[in-house]
A and B are shown apart, each in its own frame.
Chain A
């Protein structure tokens, strides 16, 4: 799967979809492929303030527990509650139904420290 254009990417393999001060966040296709079958996702609580590149939850595959980082800072305004019953959505549609959480961003400038699709592609191949 190619990296969708128009999204921003972190080196820790999260994607961000910006819409003004709002952002939707998920993990990339590369991340879900590396993790394998995802069986549990622990997301930050709605209302919490989270800081860029900090550990905000976990993603668990059959074999392993992996930390989840946030690519940008802000207040959590919504989490994808369907993942509780269907964590495999992250495997099936990492850029769609498998999104993780939404933020009200606190610092739009942070976007400058993220990668575009082409640079992220290079990062995963490096």
Chain B
């Protein structure tokens, strides 16, 4: 039996096609993935992300302790700052990719839905004897995202704070239509936007208020299908695809989030070795010459031999409908401009290695 978010009935009323994802029933699409994608790139989209794991961390030891479990720096975060971070295993493979939010009275850690149970056990197993209290809010708190160039204009009339004053990857404690919420300028689409952390009780009211007020301005409810295309175009990794227990952050191109200057953290030695050796297979951007989409698992060839495989693939509406993909490739095949063959149903199709991200919004 799959769990339901507080917004389940809203999704059904809106015609959302519900699919199991990360232990929840979630909308994969409402009207059409391409239409929803277009709304986010040009106007704004509304997402229910309440399936994601939310953990509350409090106590004076949180930052120091979290710094021993994660690759990026927690202790240097400013009040109300958000920071992308990864938890690794001893071999450097990725347990999960997450975001830490440093709030007024506690920390909020957002983890992938599919990893929430694993991550909760990981935190509990590594909790120090004192100085860190953990509270599992997975399923108990909601998360609504509004993403797209019109998100400031659409959200501003509903909140009691100046949204323009919130910097990217910062947040503020405010109210949305009178309801207390953490309002964060974060997202997973490659567009400007906000994520609203609020109670399950309030979520349906806020969801309806935003949609009813702004649907005629182009705000669309968006499902996981559009979200996946948006994040792939924006070059953002998806756990299970570009990151796994055997794919390290370094391989995924996230060395910027691996702070080897920290005295110690789980996986540090393995990751340092990998960085210095520089001979690892790595995630690269791939653009297909033709119209056949590349899909996860397809074998990639170079110079007559297999050099890796596709990890994610989709048509990219923001790149003139070209077929784009990420692939885990041997170093020699992963340099920009390398010509590849992607094997699709027994036939080889030409492709080229390109830099990530595929899409970058105009600032």
**A interface residue numbers (CB < 8 A to B):** 36-37, 39-40, 42, 58, 60-63, 65, 84
* Residue of B34, B292, B295, B345 touching A37 (CB-CB under 8 A): B34
Cα-based distance from A39 to B291 in the complex (angstroms): 8
Chain B hits for A36, CB < 8 A: 29, 32-33, 225
B44 CB within 8 Å of chain A: no
Question: CB-defined interface of B308-341 with A at 8 Å, one 1/0 digit per residue?
Answer: 0000001100000100000000000000000000
B225 touches A62 (CB 8 A): yes
B33 touches A63 (CB 8 A): yes
A40 touches B32 (CB 8 A): no
Chain B hits for A37, CB < 8 A: 32-34
Chain A hits for B315, CB < 8 A: 39-40, 62
The distance from the CB of B65 to the nearest CB of chain A, in whole angstroms, is: 40
Question: CB-defined interface of B269-301 with A at 8 Å, one 1/0 digit per residue?
Answer: 000000000000000000000011101000000
Cα-based distance from A84 to B287 in the complex (angstroms): 18
Cα-based distance from A49 to B228 in the complex (angstroms): 39
Chain B hits for A39, CB < 8 A: 293, 315, 321
A40 touches B225 (CB 8 A): no
Cα-based distance from A40 to B293 in the complex (angstroms): 7
B34 touches A62 (CB 8 A): yes
B229 CB within 8 Å of chain A: yes
| CB-based nearest B residue for A41 | B291
The distance from the CB of B299 to the nearest CB of chain A, in whole angstroms, is: 15
The distance from the CB of B345 to the nearest CB of chain A, in whole angstroms, is: 7
B229 touches A62 (CB 8 A): yes
Residues B12-64 near A (CB distance < 8 A): 28-29, 32-34
Chain B hits for A84, CB < 8 A: 291
The distance from the CB of B359 to the nearest CB of chain A, in whole angstroms, is: 16
A62 touches B33 (CB 8 A): yes
Cα-based distance from A40 to B288 in the complex (angstroms): 13
Chain A hits for B292, CB < 8 A: 40, 42, 60
The distance from the CB of B31 to the nearest CB of chain A, in whole angstroms, is: 10
Name which of B229, B291, B345 has the most chain A CB atoms within 10 A of its CB. Answer: B291
Chain A hits for B321, CB < 8 A: 39
A40 touches B229 (CB 8 A): no
Q: A36-B225, A37-B33 are in contact. Are A62 and B314 (CB under 8 A)?
A: yes
Cα-based distance from A39 to B313 in the complex (angstroms): 12
Write 23 A-B pairs (CB below 8 A) sorted by A numbering. A36-B29, A36-B32, A36-B33, A36-B225, A37-B32, A37-B34, A39-B315, A39-B321, A40-B291, A40-B293, A40-B315, A42-B345, A58-B345, A60-B292, A61-B33, A62-B33, A62-B225, A62-B315, A63-B28, A63-B33, A63-B225, A65-B293, A65-B295
